[in-house]
Amino acid sequence: MKKDKTLFSQFAKYASLSVLGMIGMSCYILADTFFISKGMGKNGLAALNFAIPVYNVMHGLGLMLGIGGATKYTVFKSRGDDKKADAVFTGTLLLGAAFAALFMLAGGLFSGKLALLLGADADTYALTDIYLKVLLLFAPAFICNNILMCFVRNDGDPRLAMFATVSGSLTNIVLDYVFIFPCGLGMFGAVLASGVAPVIGTGFSLSHILRGKNGFHLARTKECFRHMGANFALGFPAFVEQLSSAIVILVFNFIILGLLGNTGVAAYGVIANISLVVLSVFTGIAQGTQPLISRAHGEDNRENERRLLCYCAAAALLVSLFAYAIVAAFASPVAEIFNSEKDPALGAIAARGLRLYFIAAPFAGLNIILCSYFAAAETPLPAHILSLLRGLAVIIPAAFLFSFLWGITGVWLSFPATEGAVCLIGGLFLFFGRRRAAARSAKKPPAA
């Protein structure tokens, strides 16, 4: 019983701190949504929603590198191999620098073309262009913040990782208000606030190193290149989760623009960004528990792996039920918070969309937990398949088919239908994976 209490207390500590951090991170864009709606109205909201997919991709790459590298780091640390653990950290930073350079190049040279590609029109082009340009020029801060946050958390300091993300979010909220209203900087001010926020978060994470608390170090060794594949293999589900959000937003923007114009896109921007906060809670539970699952896996403790997965699933279901109850009861007042122009069409579209879209919450929560679990236990193939199904193979055809059959109602329902179908497949992966593991254990000769 004492062991169970200890494991649950570790889960509660890591998961709760990670959830707070992820909520803080997701509030980067939610704060922008609120202040842009007040300062720039419907066109500002639409422009922000056109630019969000680029943020998702950049954020996803940072998480992929951080989670993939930190997972492998934890496995090596649990086995006492400090040299390989340091090589993984070094390789992760090198990959982060390479991707950051590519994003900065894209922002400096191609932001205008990218804005048009993402759907901006004459009313929203200038706002989308400036948001993309500045956002991409801050790529090193976003990527470095994600990498360090993951390594600090896996290095036994989830509290500092949480402070790093929450401090960045609070900075963003304060600067959003200051830059947009007193300073009158408009969309440039909103994105500048978002860019400064991860710089603050990175400073908090660096204090882990400056205080000498870090178990990871830079290593001058060619072995860092040998382990780079782990960043992609083990972090890929986290990237696809963010990529799927970007793709869903792109596809939905395209469909909704044809059905309801910029008003519909602005309404969907409200739904997507509130959804981002709820999904970040599931991501926080999953990522917070990942170091514990990776440690149990490295120690070959299958019972702890199973218990941690059960804790995660139960927490995700409770959160999803609470979130849907709130959305179902208060959809209209929530939508009106972001409807500064009091556009009745925008409010009605967003309120109905919230109630239908959030039916997906329990399924999405379980899918995020399963993807993280498979990756943390170094069985990434099921996680890759589930992530690709959620982000590409099911959601895109469902969105087009359902919108053709039922219009805007079909658009909202395509998301819960996708998450529900993928959740069923994930359950089958888990069931048959457990059976194979049990069969292998039964064949092992008893210990002498």
| Tens of pLDDT, residues 261-308 | 889 988 998 898 888 889 889 989 998 898 899 888 888 888 899 999
Does residue 156 lie in a domain region?
A: yes
Highest mean pLDDT among 22-31, 58-67, 410-419: 410-419
Does residue 439 lie in a domain region?
A: no
Q: Is residue 423 scored above 70 in pLDDT?
A: yes
Does residue 212 lie in a domain region?
A: yes
Pick the more confident residue, 277 or 115. Answer: 115
User: In terms of residue numbers, what domain contains 258?
Assistant: 2-433
The pLDDT of residue 273 is 80
- Rounded to an integer, what distance in angstroms lies between the CA atom of residue 242 and that of residue 22? 13
| Tens of pLDDT, residues 122-175 | 889 999 999 999 999 999 999 999 999 899 988 888 888 888 888 888 898 899
Largest CA distance in the chain: 76
Q: Name the band, by pLDDT with cuts 50, 70 and 90, for residue 5.
A: low
Does residue 276 lie in a domain region?
A: yes
- Rounded to an integer, what distance in angstroms lies between the CA atom of residue 343 and that of residue 351? 12
Q: Name the band, by pLDDT with cuts 50, 70 and 90, for residue 22.
A: confident
- Rounded to an integer, what distance in angstroms lies between the CA atom of residue 329 and that of residue 345? 19
| Tens of pLDDT, residues 350-384 | 999 999 999 999 999 999 999 989 988 878 889 88
For the chain, how many structural domains are there in total?
1
Neighbouring residues of 250: CB distance < 8 A, sequence distance ≥ 6: 53, 118, 119
- Look at the block and give the residue holding tokens 């219009």: 407
Q: Name the band, by pLDDT with cuts 50, 70 and 90, for residue 2.
A: very low
Does residue 446 lie in a domain region?
A: no
DSSP structure string for 174-242? HHHHHHHTTS--HHHHHHHHHHHHHHHHHHHHHHHHHTT--S------THHHHTHHHHHHHHHHHHHHH
Tokens at 140, concatenated: 């090193």
Q: Name the band, by pLDDT with cuts 50, 70 and 90, for residue 195.
A: very high
Pick the more confident residue, 11 or 240. Answer: 11
Tokens at 162, concatenated: 């949480």
- Rounded to an integer, what distance in angstroms lies between the CA atom of residue 164 and that of residue 353? 33
- Look at the block and give the residue holding tokens 């981002």: 276
Q: What is the mean pLDDT of the chain?
A: 88
Q: Name the band, by pLDDT with cuts 50, 70 and 90, for residue 441.
A: low
Q: Is residue 202 scored above 70 in pLDDT?
A: yes
The pLDDT of residue 107 is 93
Q: Is residue 1 scored above 70 in pLDDT?
A: no
Does residue 300 lie in a domain region?
A: yes
Does residue 89 lie in a domain region?
A: yes
Does residue 448 lie in a domain region?
A: no
Mean pLDDT score, 418-432 = 95
Pick the more confident residue, 416 or 447. Answer: 416
DSSP structure string for 233-273? HHHHHHHHHHHHHHHHHHHHHHHHHHHHHHHHHHHHHHHHH
Residue 339, classed as helix, strand or coil, is coil
